[in-house]
Amino acid sequence: MSLKVEALAKRFGDVPALEGVSLEVGRGEFVSLLGRSGSGKSTLLRLVAGFEAPDAGRILIEGRDMAGLPPQARPCAMMFQSYALFPHLSVHENVAYGLRRAGQYSAARVEEWLALVGLAGFGARRPAQLSGGQQQRVALARALARKPPLLLLDEPLAALDAGLRAATGAELRRLQRETGTSFVMVTHDQAEALALSDRIALLEGGRVVQIGPPDAVHARPATRFVAEFLGAANILEEAGASFALRPEQIQLGGDIPARVLTRQFRGEAWMLECEAADGRRLRVSVPAQGEVPAEGDAVALGWPASALVPLA
Partner 1 sequence: MIRAAAALWLGLLVAAPLLVVGAMSLGVPADGVPPYHIPLLSGEGLGEAEAWSVLTEDGHFLGALWRSLWLAGISAGCCVVLSYPMALGLLRLAPRWRGAVLGLALLPFCVGFVLRMAGWVGLLRDSGVLNQALLAAGLIEAPLPMLYSDGAMLAGMVHGYLPFALLPILAALAARDRALEDAAADLGASRLTIFRTVTLPVTARAGLAGFLLVFIPAAGEFVIPELLGPPEALLAGRAIWQEFFSSRDWPLAAAASVALLGVLLGPMLLWQRAQR
- What is the smallest separation between the CB atom of 146 and partner 1, expressed in angstroms? 8
Q: Least distance (Å) from partner 1 to the CB of residue 160? A: 17
In angstroms, give the least distance from the CB of 10 to partner 1: 17
Q: Tell me the C-alpha to C-alpha distance, in Å, between residue 196 and each of 41, 73, 190.
A: 17, 29, 10
Output 148 or 206, the one with its CB closest to partner 1: 148
Question: In the bound complex, what is the minimum distance in angstroms from residue 83's beta carbon to partner 1?
Answer: 8
| Min dist. Cβ of residue 180 to partner 1 (A) | 20
The residues that touch partner 1, with contacts defined as CB under 8 A, are: 49-51, 70-72, 77-78, 80, 82, 84, 86-88, 97-98, 101-102, 142-143, 146
310: amino acid identity, one letter: P
Instruction: Characterize the bridge pairing of strands 56-61 and 64-65.
Output: antiparallel
Nearest CB to partner 1, comparing residues 158 and 236: 158
101 versus 177: smaller Cβ distance to partner 1: 101
For partner 1, the closer CB: 127 or 221: 127
Q: Which is nearer to partner 1, 34 or 139 (CB)?
A: 139
Q: How far is the CB of 144 from partner 1 (least distance, A)?
A: 11
- 202 phi and psi angles, rounded to 5 deg: -95, 125
Cβ distance to partner 1 smaller for residue 41 or 142: 142
CA distance 274 to 300: 10
